[in-house]
């Protein structure tokens, strides 16, 4: 495991960890849920790396774990952008070699970045939300003060989208996952985990099985459409291109 400290355009220092698999074809950029941090995710990352044969890059949002700053919607967007740029600069990983994974609130920064990357290999939405307000109230319209407006951003994601949701999710109703899947341009077979809640889907055997199936499908797709030479369409404007990715610890 390699540990990085990246500087966001907000000036925050965000801690990220990179778990390398020697035979990985893809890298998961994993955005965890609101009630988690990197320390709690270690066992899952070890399992995902082994069973899926992927690299994993994850990070703690500003104000979480050892990351500085305060939690906010805009900071999570700056956080994932900085971590993405670290993957590009430190590991030379291209869009076509990357799968964005968002769990619960992590679906917000995931879809923010995915909507801006047109050659991304895939997206996984795990217990994802339609928007912040819709978790509390089943409103029909989008309010200007709402946060994480995934309902709007999913329409701009060009790559295959896998949706995973529990049928007994006690925090984010399954209707969120179903609607996001319906709105996806490139739908992959969803996984509705029978009896699954909000924080226990990883304990069901079909979780890893379906993820492995998705990764295999993306590998076949990559053979048909191999990575192309990078064009200058990255989210690297004047605000983000000077981000620092410092590797300060290896285990």
Model pLDDT for residues 106-130, shown as the tens digit of each residue: 999 999 999 999 999 999 999 999 9
End-to-end CA distance of the chain: 5
**pLDDT score, position 237:** 40
The answer to whether 180 and 130 have CB atoms below 8 angstroms apart is yes
Confidence of residue 250 (pLDDT cuts 50, 70, 90): low
Least confident among 84-98, 150-164, 233-247: 233-247
Six token digits for residue 68: 């500085």
**pLDDT score, position 249:** 52
Six token digits for residue 123: 């997206």
State the Cα angle at 188 between 46 and 114, rounded to 5°. Answer: 70
Q: What global pTM score does this model have?
A: 0.91
Domains and CATH numbers, the chain: 2-250 (3.40.50.1820)
**pLDDT score, position 236:** 47
For residues 14 and 245, give the distance between their C-alpha atoms in angstroms, rounded to a whole number.
Answer: 9
Instruction: Kindly report the average pLDDT of the chain as a whole number.
Output: 91
**pLDDT score, position 240:** 42
**pLDDT over 90 (residue 245):** no
Model pLDDT for residues 177-205, shown as the tens digit of each residue: 999 999 999 999 999 999 999 999 999 99
**pLDDT score, position 226:** 75
Cα-to-chain-centroid distance, residue 231: 22
Question: What does the pLDDT average to over 9-21?
Answer: 98
For residues 81 and 239, give the distance between their C-alpha atoms in angstroms, rounded to a whole number.
Answer: 11
Task: State how far the alpha carbon of 40 is from the alpha carbons of 43, 76, 156, 181, 250, in Å.
Answer: 8, 19, 32, 28, 19
Least confident among 91-100, 141-150, 222-231, 241-250: 241-250
Q: Please state, as a whole number, how many other Cβ atoms lie within 10 Å of the Cβ of residue 229.
A: 5
Residues in the chain, how many? Answer: 251
Least confident among 43-52, 190-199, 238-247: 238-247
Residue 83 Rama label (left phi>0; alpha psi -120 to 50; beta): alpha
Question: What does the pLDDT average to over 94-105?
Answer: 97
For residues 124 and 165, give the distance between their C-alpha atoms in angstroms, rounded to a whole number.
Answer: 11
**pLDDT score, position 238:** 37
Confidence of residue 235 (pLDDT cuts 50, 70, 90): low
Question: What does the pLDDT average to over 226-246?
Answer: 57
Six token digits for residue 233: 């369409």
Residues with catalytic roles: 104, 169, 198
Show the 3-state SS of 199-232: CCHHHCHHHHHHHHHHHHHHHHHHHHCCCCCCCC
């Amino acid at each position: 495991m390699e540990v990085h400290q990246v500087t966001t355009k907000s000036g925050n220092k965000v801690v990220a960890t990179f778990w390398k698999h020697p035979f990985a074809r893809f890298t998961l950029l994993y955005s965890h849920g609101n009630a988690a941090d990197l320390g709690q995710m270690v066992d899952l990352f070890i399992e995902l790396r082994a069973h899926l044969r992927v690299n994993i890059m994850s990070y703690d949002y500003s104000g979480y774990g050892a990351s500085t700053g305060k939690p906010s919607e805009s900071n999570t967007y700056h956080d994932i952008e900085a971590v993405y740029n670290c993957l590009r600069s430190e590991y030379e990983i291209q869009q076509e070699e990357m799968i964005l994974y968002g769990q619960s609130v992590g679906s917000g920064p995931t879809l923010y970045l995915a909507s801006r990357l047109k050659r991304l290999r895939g997206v996984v939405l795990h217990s994802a939300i339609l928007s912040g307000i819709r978790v509390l109230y089943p409103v029909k319209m989008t309010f200007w003060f709402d946060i994480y407006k995934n309902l709007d951003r999913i329409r701009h994601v060009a790559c295959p989208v896998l949706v995973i949701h529990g049928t007994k999710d006690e925090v984010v109703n399954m209707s969120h996952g179903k609607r996001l899947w319906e709105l996806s341009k490139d739908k992959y077979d969803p996984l509705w985990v029978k009896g699954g809640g909000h924080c226990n889907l990883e304990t069901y055997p079909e979780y890893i099985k379906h993820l492995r199936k998705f990764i295999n499908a993306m590998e076949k797709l990559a053979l048909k459409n191999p990575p192309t030479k990078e064009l200058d369409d990255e989210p690297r404007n004047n605000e983000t291109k000077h981000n620092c990715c410092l590797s300060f610890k290896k285990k």
